[in-house]
Structure 1
Amino acid sequence: MNQLNKNKRRPKIVVIGGGTGLPVILKSLKEKDSDVTAVVTVADDGGSSGALRKSFNAVPPGDLRNVLIALSEIPELQKEIFQYRFKSQDEALSGHTIGNLIIQATSDMKGNIYDAIQLLATMMHVKGHVYPAAEEPLVLHARYMDGTTESGESRIPKSGKMIDYVAVSCAEGRKPVHASRKVISAIMDADMVVLGPGSLFTSILPNLMIPDIGEALMNTEANVVYISNIMTQLGETEGLSDADHLRVLHKHLGGKFVDIAITNIGLVPETYIDEEPNDEYLLQVEHDFKGLQDEVPLIISDNFLELLPRGVYHNGEKVAEEIFRTAFNSQRKVKQFFDNR
């Protein structure tokens, strides 16, 4: 594909992941002149999503809900209603958000999660496309470094052991796992595919371990970008540098498929880490520039920090600007240039 021309069309950007980091990037990308598609993990089994999944044998709605809100252009009051969470004393509705209940009800009405999300995306004036990674709930399985195993996205990080490898299976039976409709075509037609930010083993890899998604990432002509996490996570990435995160991704798919790493070099103040109430995060991810050079052809490093009262986040506007600029100005598969020097 020739260099993207601003007068011809908007770059197609596919973002894959889940958790709290993904909506931050999507909300900022929405403001860019790009065609954005979000592919969202369906392996969550905790909190409100886990309870609805168990009760209805359904795809967990929480990550999908947050992505719909991030890309929606409905008024803020309507977003607040959609995101309202019932209090713990509300008995049967304790901990559930209205949005999760609406997604579950729409899925029941339409008969599947894919059609439900497309209907809600239209109702919520979503700018872009939102697809579940798969159309049925998946179970995440982990093998630890000591050879022991565990299953369940919410249980895996609680063992206190280092994770070696993860895989996914269908929640029911031994059916093969397949990507949702339009996910593979979106990846293959994209100008850029973005992974993260998000929990490495429980938000990003559950999507990549769906066989046809992993295969598409290995074969797409789009540049594949990884947004490195800012902080290490308890039960997942203790002691891992930004280069180590990439090594884990490449190990899982059996080859180097990431072309560009976006990594933070801003320093999180120690006082902020000490005072941070979120016990999920530990220390800042170490920046290993030489290690990154061994894994990817192009590294984009800057101070991408945004320190908020509820946690350490990427500055969505700065990251989105880098993604958009790179997608717009670079040819597909930047690594081909490096491979053929």
Structure 2
Amino acid sequence: MYNALNSHQPKVVVIGGGTGLPVILKNLKNHHVDITAVVTVADDGGSSGVIRDYINVVPPGDIRNVIAALSELPQTVLDLFQYRFNSKDQFFAGHAIGNLIIAALSEMENGIFDAVQYLSKAMQVDGHIYPAANEPLELNAEFTDGTTMKGESEITAADKMIKRVWVETHDKKHEPQAVQQVIDAILDADQIVIGPGSLFTSILPNLMIKNVGQAILESQADVVYICNIMTQKGETDNFTEADHVRVLNEHLGKNFVNTVLVNNREVPSEYIDHQRWNEISQPVKHDFNGLREMGCRVISADFLELKERGAFHNGQEVADELMNLIGRPNE
């Protein structure tokens, strides 16, 4: 537990991927904390997937968004970094400039980890951004019907109930491993934050890297899970909050989640544009008793932000609660 009388910044490690991670990081940046973002490298969709297919680098999309969230550069520069070509050019159409920069640096620096450290300095990042591994990983899933499938987008599109997921290197000659800086950050953390994000395709790919999962189990930090507000089609249909945590615990073989942040504000069904946000289906069901049976402290509050006809986490409210949990007054 962080002591406010101490002069050191509390160390917060946030693990995940997808669109939820930058929202939390951008708001945590406003607090006097030492942030480390551990970002998934198992994405295979969109511009990231096309770049990965061409030059076999770690998919850069999630990393790009995290860099933009933690950067201190002017917004005009960030807008350029995030700009996505709408040209009809066969190669550039749909690509974000930041993805191309990260891909180029990965070749120049012989790996994604050093590339991101170099770019973090150039982009004046407030904190640390660590790819979960220094090489692209392939996500695999086994479904409850016994079939298996490879690839993040394919797994979600299969629309089957997932039993478990794991990650592999491309050559399958060695186990995926995180670099030592990732492990050190987890072991030295005051707080480890998991989520929000797609349970099986954004969060678990990080935890399934063996030394990452082991470090989380060994850490003395409070492990906080930010539960998704909505279920995700093809991944967590009809899930309760306890179902999310149960899946996390089963994958690491131990009840390791200490605290769960749960949104308690009702999502107005008439507001949600289900056609636009076709990856979501319904609000995650409450099961506070199920969470407590797994040893979780439950923090239930209004974490909802309604925008663009969708339901999202209010990053400021979540960041404020994370600071409350480590005993630091909000600033």
TM range (shorter): over 0.9
Q: Which residue of 1 aligns with 2:3?
A: 4
Q: Offset at 1:273?
A: 2.3
Q: Which moved more, 1:198-207 or 1:288-297?
A: 288-297
* Equivalence for 2:188: 189
148-157 vs 165-174, greater mean Cα deviation: 165-174
Comparing 151-160 and 303-312, the one that deviates more: 303-312
Listed as ranges, the matches of 1:93-108 within 5 Å are 93-108=92-107
Q: Which amino acid is the alignment partner of residue 207 of structure 2?
A: L
SS of the equivalent of 2:90 reads: helix
State the alpha-carbon separation in 1 of the partners of residues 5 and 185 from structure 2: 20
Q: Does 1:214 align with 2:221?
A: no
2:278 is aligned with 1:295: no
Pair 1:155-2:158 in alignment: no
> 1:49 aligned to 2:53?
no
Task: Output the amino acid matched with 1:164.
Answer: K
Deviations 1:301-325 (A, max 9, x none): 1010001106321000000011112
1:240 matched to 2:239? The reply is: yes
What is the aligned partner in structure 1 of residue 199 from structure 2?
200
Contact 1:4 1:328 in 2 (8 A): yes
Alpha carbons 2:21, 2:197 under 8 Å: kept:
yes
Identity %: 53
State whether residues 273 and 309 of structure 2, in contact with CA within 8 Å, keep that contact through their aligned partners in structure 1.
Answer: no
CA contact (8 A) 1:231 1:282 kept: yes
Measure the CA separation in 2 of the matches of 1:310 and 1:124: 32
Amino acid paired to 2:215 = A
1:24 paired residue number: 23
Determine the structure 1 residue equivalent to 2:319.
Answer: 320
Q: Is the contact made by 1:142 and 1:151 (CA closer than 8 Å) also made in structure 2?
A: yes
1:93-130 residue CA offsets vs partner (Å, 9 max, x unmatched) = 11110000000111111111111101110011100000
Matched residue of 2:231: which SS? strand
Mapped partners of 1:173, 1:246: distance in 2: 29
RMSD across aligned positions (CA): 1.4
> Which amino acid in structure 2 is aligned with residue 135 of structure 1?
N
Deviations 1:251-279 (A, max 9, x none): 00001001110111111101012566211
Whose helix fraction is larger, Structure 1's or Structure 2's? 1
TM-score norm. by structure 1 comes to 0.94
Q: Please report how far the alpha carbon of residue 329 of structure 1 lies from its aligned counterpart in structure 2 after TM superposition.
A: 5.4
1:297 Cα offset (Å): 3.4
Q: Match of 1:23, SS?
A: helix
SS of the equivalent of 2:85 reads coil
Distance in 2 separating the partners of 1:196 and 1:215:
18
Task: Check whether the contact 1:229–1:285 (CA below 8 A) recurs between aligned residues.
Answer: yes
In structure 1, the partner of 2:65 is 66
Cα distance in 2 for partners of 1:201, 1:96 equals 25
Aligned partner letter, 1:204: I
* Distance of aligned partners of 1:310 and 1:114 in 2 relative to their CA distance in 1, 3 Å threshold: farther
CA distance in 2, matches of 1:322, 1:298: 13
Q: State the match for 1:336 in structure 2.
A: none
Letter in 2 for 1:31: N
Q: How does 1:275-286 map to 2 (within 5 A)?
A: 277-286=276-285
TM-score after normalising by structure 2:
0.97
State the shift of 1:3 in Å. Answer: 4.8
- Whether the aligned pair in 2 keeps the contact of 1:273 and 1:283 (CA below 8 Å) is no
SS at match of 1:122: helix
Matching residue's letter, 1:167: W
Name the residue aligned to 1:81: 80
Equivalent residue number for residue 174 of structure 2: 175
SS at match of 1:143: strand
Separation (CA, whole Å) in 1 of partners of 2:273 and 2:174: 46
- Give the match's secondary structure for 2:63: helix
User: Closer, same or farther in 2 for the Cα pair 1:67/1:6, shift >3 Å?
Assistant: farther
Distance 1:206 1:281 in 2: 20
Structure 1: which 4+ aligned runs deviate by more than 3 Å?
none
In the TM superposition, residue 193 of structure 1 has moved relative to its aligned partner by 0.3
Quote the offset at 1:4 in angstroms.
1.7
Separation in 1 of the partners of 2:180 and 2:195? 21
Counterpart amino acid of residue 271 in structure 1: E
DSSP-derived class of the 2:312 partner: strand
Equivalent residues of 1:196, 1:227 under 8 A apart: yes
The residue number in structure 1 matching 2:114 is 115
TM-aligned CA distance change 1:310 to 1:43, over 3 Å? farther
What letter corresponds to residue 47 of structure 1 in structure 2? G
Determine the structure 1 residue equivalent to 2:271. 272
Q: Is 1:144 the counterpart of 2:140 in the alignment? A: no
